[in-house]
Amino acid sequence: MFVDISNEGHGIIRKIEFVNCLQCGTEFKKIDSLQKARPICSQVCFDNRINDRINKYKQSRRHNAKTGCYICGKTMVKCDSVMKSKYVCTVECKQKHKASLPKKRSVLAVDYHVDAGLSLEDAEEKVSQLQRARSPRCVEYWIAIGYSEDDAIKIVSEYQKRNTAANTMTKEERQKTSPRAIQYWLEKGFDLAEAQQHHKQFNDRSSLNYFVSKYGLEQGTLAYTEECNRRAVVNSIEAYVKKYGEEKGVDLWQNKYKKRGPDSKQARDFFELLYQKLPEEIQQLKIYFKGLTDNEFGARGDGRYYYYDFVISDIKYCIEFNGSYWHADPTLYDPGTILKMFGKEVLVDDIWEHDRQKHLALATRGFVVKTIWCQDKKLPLEHIDLLVEEIKNRYKEHTNEKNQNHQQTSVNRNQGRV
List Cβ<8 Å contacts ≥24 apart for 158-163.
Answer: 163/137
Helix (H) or strand (E) run with residue 155 in it? helix 149-167
Containing structural domain, residue 384: 261-404
53 & 79 share domain: no
Domain final residue pick, 81, 100, 119: 100
Residue 343 pLDDT > 80: no
Residue 261 pLDDT > 50: no
Within-domain flag for 77: yes
Residue 417 pLDDT > 60: no
What is the pLDDT confidence band of residue 355, given thresholds at 50, 70 and 90?
Answer: very high
Domain final residue pick, 18, 49, 64: 64
Q: How far is CA 236 from each of CA 74, 243, 306, 307, rounded to the nearest angstrom?
A: 27, 11, 13, 15
Residue 410 pLDDT > 50: yes
23 & 71 share domain: no
291 & 331 share domain: yes
Within-domain flag for 224: no
Asked if residues 252 and 274 have their Cβ atoms less than 8 Å apart, the reply is no
60 & 86 share domain: no
Within-domain flag for 139: no
Helix (H) or strand (E) run with residue 214 in it? helix 208-215
Burial environment of residue 369 by CB neighbours within 10 A (0 to 12, 13 to 18, 19 or more)? middle
324 & 357 share domain: yes
Q: Which one is predicted more confidently, 172 or 257?
A: 172
Strands 338-341 and 27-29: unpaired
Asked if residues 80 and 63 have their Cβ atoms less than 8 Å apart, the reply is no
52 & 76 share domain: no
Which pLDDT score, from 0 to 100, does residue 310 have?
92
Residue-wise pLDDT tens digits, 166-204: 778 788 888 888 888 888 888 888 888 888 888 878 888
77 & 60 share domain: no
What is the pLDDT confidence band of residue 325, given thresholds at 50, 70 and 90?
Answer: confident
Residue-wise pLDDT tens digits, 364-374: 889 999 999 98
Amino acid identity for residue 256 in this structure: K
What does the mean pLDDT of the chain come to? 82
Within-domain flag for 165: no
25 & 86 share domain: no
Q: Which one is predicted more confidently, 62 or 408?
A: 408
Category of 291 on φ-ψ map: left (φ > 0), alpha (ψ -120 to 50) or beta: left
Within-domain flag for 270: yes
Domain containing residue 302: CATH number: 3.40.960.10
Name which of 136-140, 190-194, 280-284 the model is least confident about.
190-194
Within-domain flag for 387: yes
Distance CA 203, CA 209 (A): 12
**Which DSSP symbol is given to 31?**
G
Residue 245 pLDDT > 80: yes
SS3 368: strand
Highest mean pLDDT among 294-303, 309-318, 334-343 belongs to 309-318
Domain final residue pick, 79, 100, 121: 100
Quick one: angle between helices 265-277 and 384-417, nearest 10?
A: 60
DSSP-derived secondary structure for 268-295: HHHHHHHHHHS-HHHHTS-EE-BTTBSS
Distance CA 161, CA 182 (A): 26
Within-domain flag for 117: no
13 & 78 share domain: no
273 & 361 share domain: yes
Q: Count the domains in the chain.
A: 3
Within-domain flag for 283: yes
Burial environment of residue 51 by CB neighbours within 10 A (0 to 12, 13 to 18, 19 or more)? exposed
Distance CA 8, CA 4 (A): 12
Average pLDDT over residues 246-271: 72
Burial environment of residue 41 by CB neighbours within 10 A (0 to 12, 13 to 18, 19 or more)? buried
Distance CA 363, CA 312 (A): 14
Q: What share of the chain is helix, strand, coil (3-state, %, to 5)?
A: 55, 15, 30
32 & 82 share domain: no
**Which DSSP symbol is given to 25?**
-
Residue 415 pLDDT > 70: no
96 & 6 share domain: no
Picking from 269, 268, 272, 287, the residue whose alpha carbon sits closest to that of residue 394 is 287
Q: Considering the entire predicted model, what is its pTM?
A: 0.43
